[in-house]
């Protein structure tokens, strides 16, 4: 699901896709084709893949930020509009040609909007991903495990998923860097975060 899980209303929604220029066009086409198959409707209805936003006012916020992003050079290749009728539904949206200073790259929309940015080298990709003021969860896709570990090491983020997104376990820390929250949930590190160390010495 990526960004489209819960219509993008998740703290770790994959709203930014940084993709190598050699596979950019094919991947975007594949995403568009896949999303076109997904039924949209009430979340409890059988077969539905994309539900409503939480409220029509939030939908307007998402659409307004989308409009601003397009004014900064982004281009919608699918979606981009609200769906009229009951509820606060919005078309799943993919925007290409998004640079790192575009509000679609820099802000959290909490809506079904995927921004796509090209890169040429790993160094450029790292510079792009670390340009974000957020750092909760990032995903790395590659067939080269050494490359994956190198990128995971250098990405400024509290959590990294390799070749899957999102993924977390109770035994592992759920934590963000930069403006992606304070503290730690899950794992032994969470217990440490919520407690204090005290040293008591007794003379016997």
Note whether residue 75 is domain-resident: yes
Q: Which residues contact 155 (CB under 8 A, 6 or more apart)?
A: 126, 129, 130, 135, 138, 140
pLDDT at 121: 98
Q: At 3, is the secondary structure helix, strand, or coil? A: helix
pLDDT score for 162: 95
The pLDDT value recorded for residue 107 is: 95
pLDDT of residue 2: 85
Q: Both tokens of residue 1?
A: 């699901």
Tokens 């596979």, residue located: 23
Same domain, 154 and 108: no
94: domain CATH number is 3.40.309.10
pLDDT computed for residue 165 by the predictor? 87
Total number of residues shown for the chain: 204
What average pLDDT values come out for the chain (204 residues) when binned by 10 residues?
Answer: 91 95 98 96 91 97 98 97 95 98 96 98 98 95 97 97 89 94 92 93 96
Q: Which of 198, 110, 142 is nearest to 18 (CA)?
A: 142
148 shares a domain with 65: no
What integer pLDDT is reported at residue 53 of this predicted model?
A: 97
| Full domain range(s) for residue 14 | 1-120
> Residue 41: which of 80, 86, 94 has the closest Cα?
86
Which pLDDT value is given to residue 43? 86
3-state SS string over 114-166? Answer: EEEEEECCHHHHHHHHHCCCEECEEEECCCCHHHHHHHHHHCCCCEEEECCCC
- In this structure, are 112 and 149 located in the same domain? no
Q: Is there a domain that residue 63 lies in? A: yes
Statement to judge: residues 138 and 116 lie in one domain:
no
Neighbours of 52 (CB within 10 A): 21
127 and 44 Cβ atoms separated by less than 8 Å: no
38, 64: one domain: yes
Question: What's the confidence (pLDDT) of residue 166?
Answer: 81
pLDDT at 1: 73
């Amino acid at each position: 699901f990526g960004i489209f899980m819960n219509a993008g209303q998740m703290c770790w929604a994959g709203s930014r896709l940084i993709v190598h220029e050699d596979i950019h066009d094919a991947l975007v086409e594949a995403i568009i084709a896949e999303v076109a198959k997904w039924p949209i409707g009430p979340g409890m209805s059988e077969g539905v893949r994309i539900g409503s936003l939480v409220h029509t006012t939030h939908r307007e916020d998402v659409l307004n930020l989308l409009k601003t992003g397009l004014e900064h050079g982004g281009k919608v290749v699918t979606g981009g509009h609200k769906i009229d009728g009951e509820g606060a539904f919005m078309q799943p949206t993919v925007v290409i040609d998004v640079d790192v200073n575009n509000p679609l790259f820099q802000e959290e929309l909490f809506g079904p909007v995927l921004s796509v940015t090209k890169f040429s080298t790993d160094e450029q990709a790292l510079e792009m991903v670390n340009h974000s003021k957020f750092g909760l969860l990032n995903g790395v896709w590659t067939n080269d495990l050494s490359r994956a570990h190198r990128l995971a090491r250098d990405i400024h983020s509290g959590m990294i998923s390799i070749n899957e997104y999102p993924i977390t376990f109770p035994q592992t820390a759920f934590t963000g860097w930069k403006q992606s929250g304070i503290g730690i949930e899950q794992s032994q590190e969470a217990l440490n975060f919520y407690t204090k160390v005290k040293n008591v010495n007794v003379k016997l």
